[in-house]
Chains A and B, each alone.
Chain A
Amino acid sequence: MTWLFALGLLSYVLSAAFGAYADNLSAALSLLAEALFVTMAVAGVRGLHLNVRIPFGPPGFSLHWVSTPLGALFLILVSVLGAAATIYAIAYAKHLPTSKRRTVLVFAPLFLASMTLVCFAANMASFLVVWEAMSLTSYALVIVDREEPGVLRSGYVYLLMTHIGALCLLAAFTLLSNHTGSMAFAVWAEKAPTLPSGIRSAVFLLVLLGFGSKAALVPLHVWLPRAHPVAPSHISGLMSGVMLKVAIYGMVLMWFVVLGPGPLWWGLVVMALGILSSVLGVLYALAEHDLKRLLAFHSVENIGIITIGLGVALMGWHAHLPLVSIVALAAALYHTVNHALFKTTLFLDAGSIQHAGAGRNLDALGGLWRRMPWTSTSTLVAAAAIAGLPPLNGFVSEWLTYESLVRLGAGGGLVLALSAATGVLALALTGGLATACFVKVSGVGLLGRPRSDRAAEAHEVSGFMTGPALALAGFCVILGLAPGLIAPILAHIAGLTLHGIGTLGPTNAVLVSLPWRGAHLDPASAALLAALIGAVVSLALGASRARRSATEIRAPWACGGELTAAHQYSATAYAKPFRPIFRLVYRPVRSVHVESLIHPFFRVRVSYEGGTTDVLSRWIYRPAITGIVALSRQGRKLQSGSLRLYLALMLATLLLLLAFVH
C-alpha cells in the first residue's frame, strides 16, 4: 500500500512537472495516479491499509498518512472526478494560450494531489499542510485569467476567505492538541469526548467556521460565486464538485469521528445554516443569468442540503436515535456523492458551451439541443438529477434526507419535531425552486432558437469533452436506479463514523421507509413508481394533444412585426415572477433609462438595467470592511512624520513604565 501511495503521488508530481512541456504525457500520468488511488480505496475494503509516518518539520512534528473507510469514499470521489476532469482538459486546454495552458496543466495535478492527501491526513500538521496546499493551488487556477478585470479581486476574496477558514481550523486543532497532548487525530478521537464542554463547543464552532468557509455555507459563501465563474470550467467543476466535498469530509471527520455526540444546539446550528444555505442558494441561483454563477449558487444550495443531513445526524446522536443518525449521515454522504457527480457534469457542459463559442449568458444561448446534442443530453440528465427528479440519483439522496427528518420528528420532543418540520419545509421549497431553476436552464439555454449569433454558430465539441460529461451523467442514472449498489456501503461507513452508536443489524435497514404505516418502500421503487406515473401522465397528455392536433400550424401573430429569437421567453422573464415574491431576499433594483430627441415620444434608445442586491454582503461584509478601513485610517495617524511625536511616544512609554510597572 505504501508503494501504491508513493507511486500515485509521484505520478501526480511528474504530471505537474510535465504539464509545462508534454500535455498528453501529463494527462496520462494524472490518469495513472487517479487509477492507483481508486485501487487503494477499493483495496481498503479488503483490509489493506496505509499507515505511513514521516518525520518532518521541527522536532515534535511529523506527517502522518492513514487510510480510513470514510477517507476512501472521498478518495474515490476525488480520483474519479479528477479523471473525468483530466480527460476533459485534454481537449479543453488545447485552445488556451500557452502560458495559461501551462499554468492549468501544472497546477491541476497538484490540486488533485493535495485533495487526495487531505483524505489520508491523520494528524494536525499533515492536514493543515495539504489543506493549505489545496487552497493555494486552486487559487493559482482561479487567477489563470488574471489580466481580465476583476479576476484578481475574485481570487483575493477567495484566498482571504479560505485563509481565514484555515486559521479557524488551526485554532480548533490547536485547542484539541493542547488539551489532549497529541497532534494525532486518533488520539483526539479517544480523548475529545471527555474534554470540558466549553472547549468542545469552541472546537465545534471553529470547525464550523473553518470548513464552512471552504464549503461555502451561507454567509461564508461570498467567495464562491466570484471564484467559480472565472476559473477554467473543469477546474470550476473540480472546485465545486470535489473541493467543497473535501470540506464536508473535514466536518464529518471533526464532528463525528473526533468530537462525538454533543449538545442539542450543535445540531440546531448546523441545520439552521444548512436551511439558510439551501434556500438562499437556490434563490440566488434563480435570479442569475450567468450559467457558471448560477451553478455556483446551486453548489451553495446543495451544500446546504448536505449540511441539513449532518445537522439531523448530530441531533439524532444527541437524542440517542441511532437509526436517525445513521440514515441522516448516509443521506448526507449520498448527496455528497451525487452532487459531486451532477455538478461536475454541469460545469463541464457549461465549459463545453462556452468553448463552443456560445458564452455563458443564458439570455444569449438557446437552440443548443440541435447543435450540441451530446452536451445537451448530459446537461439535461444532470439538471434533472440536481432538481431531485426521479429516477435519478438526486431524488434518492433527498428522499433519504426527508426520511431522516421525518424519523427525527417522530423521535420525540417539541424541539426535534419543530426543527424536523422546518427542515422538511425548507427542503421542499428548495427542491421546487431548484426544479424551476433547471427548467430555466434547459428551457432557455438548450431549447428554442438561438438568441445570439454566437449561439447560432455553436458546434458540438470533441469527444474528450462530451465523453466525461456523459459518463458522469450515466453514473447519475445508475445511482438513481440502483441505490442498493452503494447505499449499504454508505450506511456502513456512517455506522463506523458514528462510533459507539451500536449496530443496526442488517445494513439494508437504511432503505426501510415510511415507518408510520408499516409499509416498506425504498427510494428505487419509489423512483420507478414516480417515473411510471410520470410516463403514463405524459403519454396520456400526448395522446390527448395528438387527438386535437388536427389543427393547422401557422406562424403566430406578432403585432404585425416579424418574429425574432428575441421574442422568446428569456431567463430574466422566467425569473420575473419570483422576484416580487422573494423581494425580501432579492431587494431588486431596476432602472429604465429613456433617451429621446426633442419630445419624449421620439425615443432613440431605451435601456433597462435590473438586478438584485446582495443583502448578506451589504449587512455583514461591507460594514466589517468599512469598519476595519476606518480604524486603520485612525491608526495611521501614529506615523504622522513628526519626530517630536515619536520622541514623545518614547518618553511617554518610559514614564508610564516607570510609573506603573514595578
Chain B
Amino acid sequence: MTSAWILVCLIPLGCGIGTLLCRTARSLGWVLAVGTTATSVVATWVILRTPVATVLGGPDALGRLLLGIVDLVGVLSTVESLHYWRDELRSSNADLVMLGRGIRRVRIYFFWQQAFLASLLTAAASGNLGLSWVAIELTTITSAVLVGSSGTPRAIEAAWKYVVLCSVGLALALATVILLYALGGAGGLGALNWTSLTAAAPHFPTGPIKLAYLFALVGFGTKAGLAPLHAWLPDAHSEAPAPVSALLSGVLLAVVLCTLVRVADVTAAATGAAFPDHLLLGAGILSIMVATPFLILQSDLKRLLAYSSIEQIGVMAVGFGLHVPLAALGAILQLVVHALTKSGLFFTAGRIVHDAGTQRLLRLRSLGVGTPTSGAALLFGVLTLGGLPPFGMFFPELAIIRATFAQNTVLGLGFLFLLALTFAGLFYHAGGTALGRSARTGLHRVPVLDIAVLALPAALTIVVGLWAPAILARGLEAASALALGGGAR
C-alpha cells in the first residue's frame, strides 16, 4: 500500500457524502465519529511509516508534519462544529419544522466542511506541485461555500471577495505550475514531484524560473495571506462559522505557505538562495507591518484574530526567508503552535460571539465573555501568540529573532519593535475582553468534551513549543531541513 495517504484524503470526502444521507442528529454524529476516527488512524499510520515515493509523490517529512496538524485541527474542528450547531439550533428557538430545516442546513454544512477537510489533507500531504495546486484551489471552493453559508449580506460579500481574490491568485499560481512543468521537461505528472523538481532545478534557465517564482509569490502568497495580497483574509475569517475559521486560519494558510516555501527552494536551487529568500523575507516583514495598524485599532473580535494570523504568517515567512536551520526550525515550530493556538482561539471566539450575540469588541467588553472557560482560553491564546514564556510560542519566536539578529542587527531591532506593537494591540483588545468583566459563573455547565476541545490544543502548544521532547524535535528538524531545500543543496 504505497498510496495509503490518498486514503486519508478520501475518507473525509466519503464521510461528507455520508452526512448528506443522514436523517437524524444521532446518525450524523455516528458518521462523523467513524469518519474522523478512520481518518486519524490512517493518518497516524502514514505519519509513522517511512515515506515511499509514488507517482503522485507521497508525503515527505514536512508533508507528514502538515498532515498530522491538519488532521488534528480537522478533528477538533469537527467536534467544535457539533457544539456550534447545537448552540445555533438551540438559540434559533426551533420548533419542529424549523428543526427539520435546521438538520438540512447541518447536513449541508458538514458535507462542505468534510470536503474542505479532504482538500486540505490532500494539499498538506501531497508531494507533488500539480496535485497541491488542484487541492488548494479546491479548498477555496469548498470553504467559500462555508464562508457564505450563513447567507447574510456580509457573509455573501466576504465569500464573493474570497472566491474572486483567491481564484485570481491561484490562477497566477497555475502559471508557476505550468512553467515549472515545462522547465522540468514536461514528463508527465511525476515531473512535478518535489523530489524530481528539486533534483532537476540546478539545470533550469534562471529567467523563466524567476518568472515562475514571482507568480508563485503573488499567487500562493494571496492564498497564504501575505501582504499586500491578504485582503480576503479578514473578511472570510470573520464571516465564516468559527470552526471553519479555525481551519482557514490555523492550517490552510500554513499549508499554502509551505507550498510557497517549497517553490522557493526549487527556485533557490537554480538561482541561488538570495533571490527567492529575500523576497520571502520582505513579504514577511511587510505582512507584519500591514497587520499592525489593524491590530492596534480594531473593533471586531474575529477580525482581530484574522489580522493576528496575517502577522503570524509574516513571522513564519521571515523565519523561512532567513534561510538558516535555526530560523527554519523556529518557523516550523511556530507553524505548529500557531495552528493549535489559533484554532483554539477561533473556537473560543465562536462561543463568545454566540453567548454575547455580537462580535464587536466594545460590546463584548461590557457584556463579558460568557463563561470562565472562554475567558481563560482567550487569555491563554493571546499570551501564547504574544510569544511570552512560559507559553508555547516563546522558543519559536526566540529562534527566529536570533536568526534575524544574526542577519542584521537593525532588521532584528525593527522586527522586535513590530512584535511589541502587535502584542500591544492584540493584548489591548483580546486581553481586555477576556478580563474585562468577571465572567458569569454558574450560568453554564460546560461539558467535558467542550472543554477538551480547547484544553487539548492548549496543552499541546506547551508540549510542542516549550518542552519539545526529543522524539518530536527530530521530526520537526527533519521537516525544517526539507523547508530549507532538503539534501539538494
Direct contact of A and B (CB under 8 A): yes
Q: Which residues of A contact B (CB under 8 A)?
A: 56-61, 99, 125, 128-129, 132-133, 136, 143, 146-147, 152, 156, 159-160, 163-164, 166-168, 170-171, 174-175, 177-178, 202, 628-629, 631-636, 638-639, 643, 645-647, 649-650, 653-654, 657-658, 661-662
B217 interface contact, C-beta 8 A: yes
Interchain CB contact under 8 A, A164 and B420: yes
Report how far A595 CA is from B298 CA in the complex, Å: 43
Q: Is the CB of B476 within 8 A of A639?
A: no
Give B228-249 as 1s and 0s: 1 = Cβ < 8 Å from A's Cβ atoms: 1101101000000000000000
Separation of A128 and B214 alpha carbons in the complex (Å): 39
Q: Known A129-B394, A163-B386; judge A650-B229 contact (CB<8 A).
A: yes
Point out the residue from B172, B210, B294, B466 that lies within 8 Å of A662, measured CB to CB: B210
**Residue of A whose beta carbon sits closest to that of B234:** A639
By a CB distance below 8 angstroms, the chain A residues around B413 are 171
Please give me the residue from chain B that is nearest to A183 by CB atom: B402
Which of A58, A160, A635, A643 is in CB contact (< 8 Å) with B427? A160
Which residue of B421, B423, B435 is within 8 Å of A628 (Cβ)? B421
User: Interface readout for B406-437 with A: 1 if CB under 8 Å, 0 if not?
Assistant: 10010011001001110110011001100111
Q: Of B432, B437, B468, which contacts A147 at CB under 8 A?
A: B437
Which of B290, B293, B416 contacts A171 (CB under 8 A)? B416
Q: Is B31 an interface residue (CB 8 A)?
A: no
Give the contacting residue for A638; candidates B215, B228, B388, B402; CB below 8 A: B228
Residue of A nearest to B298 (CB): A636
User: Hey, which chain A residues are within 8 Å of B466, CB to CB?
Assistant: 56-57
How near does chain B come to A624, taking the closest CB pair, in angstroms? Answer: 11
Which residue on A lies nearest to B222, using beta carbons? A650
Q: Find chain B residues with CB under 8 A from A56 CB.
A: 466-468
* CA distance in complex: A133, B211 (Å): 48
B296 at the interface (CB under 8 A from A): yes
**In the complex, chain A residues whose CB is within 8 Å of the CB of B477:** 59
B138: interface (CB < 8 Å): no
In the A-B complex, the 3 residue pairs with the closest CB atoms: A635-B293, A632-B293, A646-B231
B293, A58: Cβ atoms closer than 8 Å = no
A-B contact pairs, 8 of them (CB 8 A): A57-B466, A99-B438, A136-B383, A152-B432, A170-B401, A632-B293, A633-B293, A647-B168
B394 touches A635 (CB 8 A): no
- Bound-complex Cα distance A653 to B161 (A): 18
Given that A633-B297, A658-B214 are known contacts, is A125 also in contact with B398, CB under 8 Å in the complex? yes
Q: A646-B165, A650-B218 are in contact. Are A167 and B294 (CB under 8 A)?
A: no
Q: Give the bracket for the number of chain B residues in contact with chain A.
A: 35 or more
A632 B405 Cβ-Cβ under 8 A: no
User: By the criterion CB–CB under 8 Å, are B421 and A178 in contact?
Assistant: no
Chain A residue contacts of B297, Cβ below 8 A: 629, 632-633, 636
CB distance B388 to A132 under 8 Å? Answer: yes
Interface pair A178/B229, CB less than 8 Å apart: no
> B390 — which chain A residues lie within 8 A by C-beta?
129, 132-133
Contacts A129-B394, A635-B292, A657-B214 supplied; 16 other A-B pairs, CB < 8 Å: A58-B396, A58-B473, A59-B473, A132-B390, A132-B394, A136-B388, A159-B427, A167-B416, A633-B293, A635-B290, A636-B297, A639-B234, A643-B161, A653-B218, A653-B229, A657-B279
B395 at the interface (CB under 8 A from A): yes
Whether A171 touches B405, Cβ cut-off 8 Å, given contacts A152-B436, A632-B296, is yes
Main secondary structure of the interface of A (DSSP, over half): helix
Shortest Cβ distance from A643 into B: residue: B161
B329 on the A face (CB < 8 A)? yes
Chain B residue nearest in CB terms to A99: B438
User: Residue A146 contacts which of B164, B234, B424, B438 (CB distance < 8 angstroms)?
Assistant: B438
> Which chain A residue shows the least CB distance to B206?
A662
Q: With A132-B389, A163-B386 in contact, do A178 and B290 touch (Cβ < 8 Å)?
A: no
B333 touches A (CB below 8 Å)? yes
Q: Would you call A653 and B329 a contact (CB within 8 A)?
A: no
A213 to chain B, nearest CB (A): 12
Give the docked Cα–Cα distance between A170 and B413 (Å).
10
**B317, CB-defined interface residue at 8 Å:** no
A-B contact count (CB 8 A): 153
Pick from A58, A99, A202: contact of B399, CB under 8 Å: A58
Contacts of B402 in A (CB 8 A): 174, 177-178
- Which of A57, A202, A635 has the most C-beta atoms of chain B within 10 angstroms of its own C-beta? A57
Interface membership of B326, Cβ < 8 A: yes
> Looking at the complex, which one of A129, A175, A634, A657 makes contact with B218 (CB distance below 8 Å)?
A657
Give bound CA distance, A156 to B395, whole Å. 24
Contact in complex: A128, B398 (CB < 8 Å): yes
**B169 near A: Cβ within 8 Å?**
yes
* Distance in angstroms between the alpha carbons of A62 and B406 in the assembled complex: 20
Across-interface contacts of A156 in B (CB, < 8 A): 427-428, 431-432
Contacts of A147 in B (CB 8 A): 437-438
Q: With a CB–CB cut-off of 8 A, which chain A residues contact B161?
A: 643, 646
**Please, how many angstroms separate the alpha-carbon atoms of A163 and B428 in the complex?**
13
B395 with A133: CB separation less than 8 A: no
Q: How far is the CB of B389 from chain A (nearest CB, A)?
A: 4
Q: Say whether A653 contacts B228, CB under 8 Å.
A: yes
Asked if B419 and A167 sit within 8 Å, CB to CB, the answer is yes
A174 to B394, CA, bound (A): 14
For residue B160, which residue of chain A has the nearest CB?
A643
- Of A168, A177, A632, the residue contacting B292 (CB under 8 A) is A632
Chain A residues lying within 8 Å of B214, measured Cβ to Cβ, are: 654, 657-658, 661
Given contacts A58-B476, A129-B389, A147-B438, contact A174 B467 (CB under 8 A): no
Residues of B within 8 A of A132 (CB): 388-390, 394
Complex interface: chain A residues within 8 A of B435 (CB): 143, 146, 152
A185, B292: Cα distance in complex, Å: 34
Known: A132-B390, A147-B438, A152-B436. A170 touches B416 (CB 8 A): yes
Which A residues are CB-close (under 8 A) to B419? Answer: 167
Are A646 and B386 in contact, CB atoms less than 8 angstroms apart?
A: no
CB pair A160–B416 under 8 Å, yes or no, is no
How distant is the Cα of A645 from the Cα of B229 in the complex, in angstroms? 11
Say which residue of A58, A59, A129, A649 sits within 8 Å of B231 (CB atoms).
A649
Q: How far is the CA of A576 from the CA of B456 in the complex (A)?
A: 60
Please determine whether B168 and A170 come into contact, CB atoms closer than 8 angstroms: no
- A317-B222 Cα distance, complex, nearest whole Å: 57
Q: A99 — which chain B residues lie within 8 A by C-beta?
A: 438
Give chain B residues whose Cβ lies under 8 Å from the Cβ of A60.
Answer: 326
Q: Which residues of A contact B222 (CB under 8 A)?
A: 650
Min CB–CB distance B218 → chain A (angstroms):
5
Distance, CA A628 to CA B425, complexed state (A):
11
Provide the residues of chain B in CB contact with A174, threshold 8 Å. Answer: 401-402, 405, 412
Chain B: CB-nearest residue to A174: B405
Specify the chain B residue showing the minimal Cβ separation from A128: B389
- A645 CA to B394 CA, complexed, in Å: 36
Q: A125-B398, A147-B438, A657-B218 are in contact. Are A160 and B279 (CB under 8 A)?
A: no
Q: With A163-B420, A650-B169 as known contacts, state yes or no: A661 contacts B279, CB within 8 Å.
A: yes
